[in-house]
Structure 1
Amino acid sequence: MKTPHSESSEQSGQNNKLELAIGREIRSFRKKMDLTIAELAKLAGLSAGMLSKIENGNASPSLATLQSLSQALNIPVTAFFRKFEEERDASYVRAGQGLVIERRGTRAGHQYRLLGHSVGKSINVEPYLIELSEKSEVFPLFQHPGMEFIYMLEGKMLYMHGNRSYPLLPGDSLFFDADAPHGPEELNELPIKFLSIIVSPRFSE
């Protein structure tokens, strides 16, 4: 069981990874420009001690500090994050964990747990573990861009896609265009557990 202390330690570990990645990038850009810590610190309006802490991942720079450093190095702020995003090519989630998502129509006994997500790519990939443990007379219909893949792990249900319905048992799968209305139609044997993987284009803002 996770304690508040262990959760805080995990969060701290994630934050430290980001700080270390940013610090490495700042040091790399500084050395490419053949600047000393003192010289870059003066250009950015920082103390040499603070810049040293940032480069070593021992201090979390504010957005204003990153902007000052980016201007001093003549690079975009986003350049400090590129290596961190490139390194995040794996998402490890322990059993029973994952981020619980409130989707439209989510109710007690209907749980959507996000197991990972893509970063900095041209497509979104969202793997969910979905658990339905209570009967319901009305089910939400989903409709969104992209494709979706469902793999049944436990229970039995009738799943609707467009104007067709499919009986799903453990081991069955369904791959479909998510632009058509879809969702559970009948819960035949509870509890129901299935994987849902949604792949969709990432639209630029």
Structure 2
Amino acid sequence: MRMPLRTLTRPTEPPPAAAASETRADGAPAVNGRAPAKSLAEALPAAGEEGLPTGSNAPRAASLTVEQAIGAQIRQHRKTLDITSAELAATARISPGMISKIENGQISSSLATLTALASALNVPIASLFAGYDDRRDCSFVKAGQGALIERRGTKAGHIYELLGHSLGAGVMIEPFLITLTDEAAPYSAFRHAGVELIYMLGGCVGYRHGDRIYQMEPGDTLFFDASAQHGPEELISVPATYLSIIVYPKE
């Protein structure tokens, strides 16, 4: 016996007059009780310097013009010698007003003027450009070529591969790729200055921080005060690998 076919009917839509009129918390009107979709500009994070979204609250790095960089170097050298701008002007045979404009980056100086200032300050002319053509902190390590580091826990089968190092920042940053081998033993007695971020790549461990243990699987992140006792206490699935980024102030 064949069952009769059912006729599907489209739900009746409420007339426009019945549409609910509400207001979202941000003041935008709602339609039929539902908030309207956000525009692309609303959905994206705040744009950075190049117009691309950025999730960081770090202040934007100052970008100096060559005139500002040269002026800052001249002022720094002058203060190191403990001389006034008038004294520098007299020695370099430049007007005090010109010295003020140069130090404030308001004018572009000729090569002859810069030569005279470098001579008066008793520094190489190249040093006046140091603030503009300075080296930026960057460290590049090819896959598998990180330096192997001996640290506490290494003897327990924990392999530390240093992935980079800071060059001139006011803090020390140590990024490690840590591998817990099949022969690894639990070790949760780490304590050191600064903060640490753990990002799990493979395997599974119970990671202790203080009086709590967090089961970490691939994709999990743990960020903590490293002065408390911490480390992998439960080796649930090995081999296990994770990124460890340690940040602490320079002494």
Range of TM-score over shorter length = 0.5 to 0.7
How many residues end up aligned between the 2 structures? 125
Amino acid at match of 1:96: G
- In the superposition, the TM-score normalised over structure 1's length comes to 0.55
Greater CA drift, 127-136 or 188-197: 127-136
For the pair 1:194 / 2:231, whether they are aligned, the reply is no
Amino acid at match of 1:199: V
Deviation at 1:165, TM superposition (A): 0.4
Q: Which residue of 2 aligns with 1:127?
A: 175
Q: Which residue of 2 aligns with 1:96?
A: 144
Q: Which residue of 2 aligns with 1:155?
A: 203
Deviation at 1:135, TM superposition (A): 3.8
For the pair 1:112 / 2:188, whether they are aligned, the reply is no
Deviation at 1:95, TM superposition (A): 0.7
Measured against aligned partners, the alpha-carbon deviations of 1:47-102 in whole angstroms (never above 9, x if no partner) come to xxxxxxxxxxxxxxxxxxxxxxxxxx977xxx9xx88xx52521111111111100
Q: CA separation of 1:137/1:114 partners in 2, compared to 1, >3 Å: closer, same or farther?
A: closer
Greater percentage in helix: 1
Is the Cα contact below 8 Å between 1:126 and 1:198 reproduced in 2? yes
Runs of 4+ deviating beyond 2 Å: 134-138
Amino acid at match of 1:134: D
Q: CA separation of 1:119/1:189 partners in 2, compared to 1, >3 Å: closer, same or farther?
A: same
> Gapped runs of 5+ residues in structure 1?
1-72
Amino acid at match of 1:146: G
Q: Which residue of 1 aligns with 2:17?
A: none
Deviation at 1:176, TM superposition (A): 0.2
Q: 1:174 aligns with which of 198, 203, 222?
A: 222
Q: Which residue of 2 aligns with 1:165?
A: 213
**What SS class does the counterpart of residue 87 from structure 1 fall into?**
coil
Deviation at 1:137, TM superposition (A): 4.4
Q: CA separation of 1:74/1:145 partners in 2, compared to 1, >3 Å: closer, same or farther?
A: farther
Q: Kindly indicate whether structure 1 or structure 2 has the higher relative contact order, using CA contacts under 8 Å at least 6 residues apart.
A: 1
Within a 5 Å distance, the mapping from 1:1-205 to structure 2 comes to 86-107=134-155, 109-203=157-251
Question: Rg larger in 1 or in 2?
Answer: 2
Is the Cα contact below 8 Å between 1:161 and 1:180 reproduced in 2? yes
Greater CA drift, 117-126 or 189-198: 117-126
> Gapped runs of 5+ residues in structure 2?
1-120
Is the Cα contact below 8 Å between 1:135 and 1:187 reproduced in 2? no
Measured against aligned partners, the alpha-carbon deviations of 1:91-121 in whole angstroms (never above 9, x if no partner) come to 1111111111000121274210111111222
Q: CA separation of 1:74/1:108 partners in 2, compared to 1, >3 Å: closer, same or farther?
A: farther
